[in-house]
Amino acid sequence: MDWIRHLLTSKYLYLALTVIVAAGALTVYALDRWIMPSYTNYFEGLTVPDVTKLPLEEAEATLELYGLRHEILDQRTHSAYPAGYIIDQAPAPRQIVKPNRKVYLTINTAEPQMVVVPNLVDMSYRNARIQLENYGLNLGTLSNESGRFRNTVLRQSIAAGDTVELGTVIDLAISDGLGSRMVQVPDLTGLRLPEASQRLREAGLRIGEVHFQPSRDVLPNTVLSWFPEVEELREGEPLNLTVSERHNVQEEEESGVIIDAEEDSDQSDADDTVRETLPNFNQ
């Protein structure tokens, strides 16, 4: 223990610590002030020249003259430019960059770039639009046709698997959610809401609005009626339901005290939970 006490009271220890801290601070300052700026060419900058509308050979020579590198990023067909001319560049002209920076070029090609058309049928409209963008194709005219599932692609103007030019426009026919045939409306009397939903899906229909009505005679979440009360509907149309809910019975005694009926409280609480967690059937 004596040597530890001697070490802590030695002036050489604190002198060494001071030297280490000072050397560290000086190193950080030198890195920030001179070393890193010199390494990254912090104080140097070049203005990117405009090489669009130039033939590839001339664009390469211009970039090399400015101390910049280049790479051909893409090839596209553009009717306004001759073949082999630059139609786009990144970074854009007149931007300030570091020396030896790489400039990415898009060159006009004499032969159009071809892509294979993807299959968009039965895909949602949103996913079909993303798929077209990924393939470099453009979305054309949208038309609505009768179909069972809303916002799904029924037809595409160019068949899947065909080879077309990059940027080709493809028209889509989108389902409006209504089928072309009439279907029988099932009898939902006495069914609980999940069962009624399943029965409607099997028939090709869907649930519209759900209204709850207090009832003492039937269990909660039981279908009481529906609208419209017809025998047939067009496939995909909604059916509005009136469903039972727990009826809160309140009786007033002669003393004037309000008493809440608590019969079947466990079942009622469970039914309330079913109603609260009921999914939204509006489509």
DSSP string covering 178-213:
--SSEEEPPP-TT-BHHHHHHHHHHHT-EEEEEEEE
Contact 183, 203 (CB under 8 A): yes
Contact 208, 238 (CB under 8 A): yes
* pLDDT at res. 185: 92
* pLDDT at res. 176: 80
Closest CA to 54 of 23, 82, 16: 82
How far is the C-alpha of 186 from the C-alpha of 208, rounded, in Å?
Answer: 15
> In CATH terms, is domain 46-108 a member of 3.30.10.20?
yes
- pLDDT tens-digit readout, 109-150: 877 778 999 999 989 999 999 999 999 899 999 988 777 778
Contact 82, 109 (CB under 8 A): no
* pLDDT at res. 255: 40
> CB within 8 A of 163, min separation 6: which ones?
114, 115, 116, 117
CATH of segment(s) 114-175: 3.30.10.20
> CB within 8 A of 155, min separation 6: which ones?
121, 145, 172, 173
* pLDDT at res. 238: 86
* pLDDT at res. 65: 92
Q: Where are the alpha helices (DSSP H) in the chain?
A: 2-8, 11-30, 36-39, 56-65, 125-134, 193-203, 265-276
- Work out the number of other CB atoms within 10 angstroms of the CB of residue 61: 13
pTM of the model: 0.41
* pLDDT at res. 226: 93
How far is the C-alpha of 191 from the C-alpha of 200, rounded, in Å?
Answer: 11
In terms of DSSP bridges, do strands 102-108 and 69-76 run parallel, antiparallel, or are they unpaired?
A: parallel
* pLDDT at res. 37: 61
CATH of segment(s) 182-276: 3.30.10.20
Residue ranges, comma separated, of all CATH 3.30.10.20 domains in the chain are 46-108, 114-175, 182-276
pLDDT < 50 regions, the chain:
249-283
How far is the C-alpha of 162 from the C-alpha of 36, rounded, in Å?
Answer: 54
